[in-house]
Amino acid sequence: MAAALAGASLGVYVLVLRGALTLDLGVGRSIRPMGPLSWDIAAPRELVFDVISEPYLGRTPRAVQRKLHVLERSEGMVLAEHYTKVGPLVTTTVETVRFERPERVHFRLLRGPVPYVVETFDLRETAEGTRLVYSGALGTDLWALGRLWAAATARVWETTVKASLDAIRDESERRANRRVQHPPQAATQ
């Protein structure tokens, strides 16, 4: 009996970790903040916004397809699956992503390893380019047990966000440098 219970518990754990089972009980819900974290990017705000939005609103590049699959697009909003490697497993989240050009991108979790996540990327113009500020909130159920799960999940979540935003910074600055080095040619008559 104990072995069967342990096996069932492990099975539920793996399903929750993979994002295949979301336990949204609404009982003993705790919300914890994520961030704020910020990046200074030496690129114009419009360009940074384009780098963030292109894989969602345009064609998803092949290199990004192992991390992102857009299920449905509409003007200014998508429904997307995000894939994150966690140890030997891949966690799948399903999120809405809403775009407010050029200053904000909103994410809302619909399915994943926790029942509640909202996140925002705020893009603020600076003299040097753009400051990208990430903030969010993660919620779990079941009081102290949920808070333990939230701590583990938030650690992986924020590490994943940091890696994504480092890549956004690098790509935005690469494109900005390319524009400076190779400005568009004026049309001749």
The DSSP element (H or E) to which 22 belongs, if any, is none
CB 149 within 8 A of CB 140: yes
- Residue with the bigger pLDDT between 131 and 182: it is 131
**What is the C-alpha to C-alpha distance for residues 177 and 120, in angstroms, rounded to an integer?**
27
Domain at 33-179: CATH architecture: 2-Layer Sandwich (3.30)
Q: State pTM to two decimals.
A: 0.91
**What is the C-alpha to C-alpha distance for residues 83 and 80, in angstroms, rounded to an integer?**
10
How confident is the model over 87-138, as pLDDT tens digits? 999 999 999 999 999 999 999 999 999 999 999 999 999 999 999 999 999 9
End-to-end alpha carbon distance in the chain: 85
CB 80 within 8 A of CB 68: yes
Q: What is the pLDDT of residue 181?
A: 84
SS3 state at 186? coil
Locate the domains of the chain by residue range: 33-179
DSSP string, 144-185: HHHHHHHHHHHHHHHHHHHHHHHHHHHHHHHHHHHHHHSPPP
**What is the C-alpha to C-alpha distance for residues 97 and 79, in angstroms, rounded to an integer?**
6
